[in-house]
Amino acid sequence: GAGVSQSPSNKVTEKGKDVELRCDPISGHTALYWYRQSLGQGLEFLIYFQGNSAPDKSGLPSDRFSAERTGGSVSTLTIQRTQQEDSAVYLCASSRLTSLRGNEQFFGPGTRLTVL
Amino acid sequence: GENVEQHPSTLSVQEGDSAVIKCTYSDSASNYFPWYKQELGKRPQLIIDIRSNVGEKKDQRIAVTLNKTAKHFSLHITETQPEDSAVYFCAASPRRALTFGSGTRLQVQP
């Protein structure tokens, strides 16, 4: 079956512009996560969705970052007034809902964002 | 919040040798510990995971051990092959989101 997909694969933007990154999770996965990976670094958690609600937004670095999920499926991460330090690969992951707190997360290919 | 430390940052071994990567975590509520492999320019792929009610898990050449008392878990790769070369990340989950270690770049020399 289809895995997690993300678009665009690459995005180059100018400082101060807004960008939207899209994630299509695996069908039937109710949990969706956004992470950020800077060059040569580990993955940094941004936000978690369960269905359309976001019970954990603790990783969003500033109020310039927001995300939404509609229909329990596609999610969009929006970065307003982009800064050079926002340059990174933005990864989306999805997982099934289970009774356990932790369960396997499947990652998308990421969107490489470059802010000039 | 959770904090995960991972060591070493780089590891070079000869083909056929074993490789061990170690992680520690801080939040005793963490109960799920996955390991991901990331090849250059690719997405992270889960290679093995362990839950807190288990002390060890093996899958062919890969094994993970967990010491809940010490808040310590390790990845063991035996009979390494050149295709094992990649960056490996450990993670811990006290809630749903994962907290990742900083990664270990493993290079297997043929």
Best residue in A100, A104, A112 to probe B by mutation, most B CBs within 10 Å? A100
Band (pLDDT 50/70/90 cuts) for residue A90 is: very high
Burial class (CB in 10 A: 0-12, 13-18, 19+), A107: buried
Give the model's pLDDT for residue A78: 98
Whether A71 has a pLDDT exceeding 70, the answer reads: yes
Round to whole Å and give the CA distance between B78 and A82.
45
**A59 and B97: CB-CB below 8 Å?**
yes
Average pLDDT, chain B: 94
Looking at chain B from residue 20 to 49, which residues have their Cβ under 8 Å from any Cβ of chain A?
A: 30-34, 36, 42-46, 49
Neighbours of B65 (CB within 10 A): 17
Q: Could you tell me which of A40, A29, A30, A22 has the C-alpha nearest to residue A90?
A: A22
Minimum Cα–Cα distance from A105: chain B residue: B46
Among candidates A25, A17, A37, which has minimal Cα distance to A82? A17
Task: For residue range A9-57, list pLDDT tens digits in order.
Answer: 999 999 999 999 999 999 989 999 999 999 878 899 999 998 888 888 8
Q: What is the pLDDT of residue A41?
A: 81
Q: State the pLDDT at residue A54.
A: 85
Nearest CA in chain B to A56: B97
- Per residue in A97-107, pLDDT (tens digit) is 765 556 789 99
Establish if A9 touches chain B: CB-CB under 8 angstroms. no
Q: What is the largest CA-CA distance in chain A?
A: 44
pLDDT (0 to 100) of residue A42: 86
Query: In terms of Cα–Cα distance, which of A90, A107, A10, A95 is closest to A44?
Result: A90
